[in-house]
Amino acid sequence: MSTITRSGRGRPAGGGWELAVWYLIRLSGLGLFVLALAHYSITHFVFDVTVQEAEWIVDERWGSLLWRTVDWLMLTLVIFHSFMGVRTVVGDYTRGGVRTALTMGLYALALVLFAMGTMVVATLPFPVK
Amino acid sequence: MPAPAGVPATTHARQPRSAAGRRRSHSPPAAAAQAGQEANLQVRYLQYRGGEGMLAWALHRISGVAVWAFILLHVLDIWLVGANPGLYDEVLALYASPIGRVGETLVGAGLLYHALNGLRIIVMDFWPSTTVWHKQLWYACWVVFFVVGIPGAYVILSPIWTGAHG
pLDDT (tens digit per residue) in B58-110: 999 999 999 999 999 999 999 999 999 999 999 999 999 999 999 999 999 99
Q: Does A49 touch chain B (CB under 8 A)?
A: yes
Identity of residue A57: I
Number of domains chain A contains: 1
Query: Residue B19: what pLDDT?
Result: 38
ipTM: 0.93
CATH number at residue A67: 1.20.1300.10
Chain A residues whose beta carbon lies within 8 Å of the beta carbon of residue B48:
none
Closest listed residue to residue B139, CA positions, set B77, B25, B83, B55: B55
Query: Residue B37: what pLDDT?
Result: 61
**What one-character DSSP code corresponds to residue A59?**
I
Which CATH number does B52-162 carry? 1.20.1300.10
Q: Of A78, A113, A123, which is closest to B82 when you measure between CB atoms? A: A123
Query: Residue B3: what pLDDT?
Result: 39
Quote the crossing angle between the two packed helices A65-93 and A96-123, to the nearest 10°: 170
- Domain with A56, as residue range(s), is 11-123
Q: Could you say which residues of chain A have pLDDT below 70? A: 1-7, 129
Residue A128 lies in a domain: no
How do residues B14-67 score in pLDDT, each as one tens digit?
A: 333 443 333 343 444 455 556 556 555 555 455 456 788 889 999 999 999 999
Asked whether the predicted pLDDT for residue B159 surpasses 90, the reply is yes
User: What is the rounded CA–CA span in Å between residue A90 and residue B82?
Assistant: 33
Q: How confident is residue B149, by pLDDT bands cut at 50, 70 and 90?
A: very high
Residue A5 lies in a domain: no
Residue A129 lies in a domain: no
Asked whether the predicted pLDDT for residue B4 surpasses 60, the reply is no
Beta carbons of B79 and A49 less than 8 Å apart: no
Beta carbons of B61 and A49 less than 8 Å apart: no
Closest listed residue to residue A40, CA positions, set A9, A71, A66, A13: A71
**What one-character DSSP code corresponds to residue A126?**
P
